[in-house]
Each structure stands twice: as structure tokens, then as C-alpha cells.
């Protein structure tokens, strides 16, 4: 008996769920064209935000893993030439790009301080400052490339509730039109409009909440990545100091 009762309750809940789904679809199909356009726009924004989230999640995972491996090898390098071999073997990442940009600067810049019996030719203070600017500029470009499209998540998270509010207002207006048409304020007259308004509100929240959450997560990861690139630039300069190039 208990098994039969459980089976009956399961069938009842399934029927109730399918009935609710059909009623929601019927409400959406029976709404006015503007409300349908609002819901369609929310669907487009949702697909856009989820596409950005999956793309950025894959990009960050790849960059962080390859960058961590290269930085770990770089810390064991004995000199620029040794690190150059590591960069050529490593998977491309913003860290290898910054390193290769620094090597290019060294190759294109003639040391201002000539060689002495104690030391080889080395860069002057102004040249080191120029190297710092080059590293900061390249790091900024890499950060900008990695953070592309992330602001769209903030835009979706902030605009979607307003679009949903617009749909809610339209649903309330539809409810009042039902009252005016039927000449009565009973639940049958106002329920369709109110239900449509609540559907627009729920759809807007379903779009905005994941987008806002993902934006905060990716913004934090981007800031941490920026700090790691800055620290890598300092380690690169320190390696040049140890090698006697500065």
C-alpha cells in the first residue's frame, strides 16, 4: 500500500508539474506582442551571458594553468638565456608574451653604461625605467585581452532587471485592461496579467543573478592575474640584475 501511495503521489506531482508548465507556456503565448518581445530579449541576453561565462571560464583555466607552469620553471632559471629556452618550450601565455617582449627590448637597446673590468655593459637607470614601462604596457594589453567581454556580464546583470520591470509593468497594465473589459475585479480578470508580470520578473532575475555573480568572479580572477603579471615583471627585472645586465 505504501508503494502504491508513493507511486500515486509521484504521478500526481508529475501531472501537476506538466500542467503548470503548459499553463506558463499558454500565458506567454497569450500575452501581448510587447511582453513576448521582452521575454525574447531576456532569452537572448541569457544566451549571451552564458556563452561569455563558458568562454571565459575555459580561457582563464588555460591561461592560469600554462602560466603557473612557466612561472614555476622561470623561478629556477639561471639566466635570461635559460629562461628563453623555457619560454620557447612552454605553451603560449601572457607570461611568455611579457617575457619575450622584455627580451626584444634588451636586444633592441644598446646599454648606456659601458663595460668595466668589474662588470659587463649594462642598462642605465633611465633604460631600466623604460623597460618597466614596456613591461607595464604589455601586461596591460594582455589583461585587456583576457578581460574582453567581461563587462558585458555586468551590463546584462544590471539591465536585465530593468527589462523585467518593464515586462512587469506591461503585465499589470494587462491586468487592469482585463478588469476594464470584464467590468469586474475578480481573480479571473486580473490573474492572467499578474501571472505574466511575475513571469517577466522571474525571467529577469534568472538572467541577472548568474551574470552578476559571474562578473564578480571573473573580475576578481582578472585582478589576481594582473597582480601576478606585475610580480612576474619584478622577478624578470631581478633576474636581469643577478645576471649583471642592470
Dihedral angle, C-alpha 71, 77, 82, 86, nearest 10 °: -20
Q: Tell me, what's the pLDDT at 17?
A: 44
Q: Which of 2-6, 69-73, 111-115 has the highest mean pLDDT?
A: 69-73
Of residues 235 and 114, more confidence is placed in: 235
Distance between start and end Cα atoms, the chain? 86
Give the contacts of 243 (CB within 8 A, at least 6 positions apart). Answer: 79, 80
CB atoms within 10 A of CB 137: 12
Distance CA 169, CA 85 (A): 63
Tell me: pLDDT of 154 over 80: yes
The band of 1, judged by pLDDT with boundaries at 50, 70 and 90, is: very low
Mean pLDDT, range 82-101, rounded to an integer? 89
Under a CB-based contact definition with an 8 Å cutoff, are residues 126 and 112 in contact?
yes
Q: Tell me, what's the pLDDT at 13?
A: 43
pLDDT in tens, 33-73: 777 888 889 999 999 999 999 999 999 999 989 888 998 88
DSSP class per residue in 8-38? HHHHHHHHHHHHHHHHHHHHHHHS-HHHHHH
Q: Tell me, what's the pLDDT at 6?
A: 39
Q: Tell me, what's the pLDDT at 51?
A: 96
Amino acid at each position: 500500500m505504501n508503494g502504491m501511495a508513493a507511486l500515486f503521489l509521484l504521478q500526481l506531482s508529475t501531472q501537476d508539474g506538466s500542467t503548470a508548465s503548459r499553463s506558463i507556456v499558454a500565458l506567454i503565448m497569450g500575452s501581448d506582442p510587447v511582453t513576448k518581445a521582452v521575454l525574447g530579449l531576456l532569452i537572448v541576453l541569457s544566451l549571451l551571458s552564458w556563452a561569455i561565462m563558458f568562454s571565459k571560464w575555459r580561457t582563464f583555466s588555460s591561461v592560469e594553468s600554462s602560466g603557473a607552469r612557466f612561472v614555476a620553471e622561470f623561478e629556477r632559471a639561471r639566466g635570461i638565456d635559460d629562461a628563453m629556452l623555457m619560454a620557447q618550450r612552454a605553451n603560449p601565455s601572457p607570461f611568455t608574451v611579457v617575457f619575450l617582449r622584455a627580451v626584444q627590448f634588451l636586444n633592441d637597446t644598446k646599454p648606456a653604461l659601458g663595460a668595466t673590468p668589474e662588470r659587463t655593459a649594462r642598462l642605465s637607470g633611465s633604460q631600466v625605467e623604460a623597460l618597466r614601462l614596456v613591461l607595464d604596457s604589455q601586461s596591460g594589453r594582455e589583461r585587456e585581452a583576457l578581460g574582453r567581454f567581461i563587462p558585458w556580464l555586468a551590463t546584462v546583470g544590471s539591465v536585465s532587471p530593468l527589462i523585467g520591470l518593464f515586462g512587469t509593468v506591461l503585465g499589470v497594465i494587462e491586468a487592469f485592461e482585463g478588469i476594464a473589459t470584464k467590468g469586474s475585479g475578480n481573480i479571473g480578470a486580473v490573474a492572467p496579467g499578474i501571472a505574466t508580470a511575475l513571469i517577466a520578473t522571474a525571467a529577469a532575475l534568472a538572467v541577472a543573478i548568474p551574470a552578476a555573480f559571474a562578473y564578480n568572479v571573473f573580475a576578481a580572477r582578472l585582478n589576481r592575474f594582473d597582480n601576478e603579471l606585475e610580480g612576474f615583471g619584478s622577478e624578470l627585472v631581478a633576474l636581469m640584475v643577478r645576471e649583471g645586465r642592470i
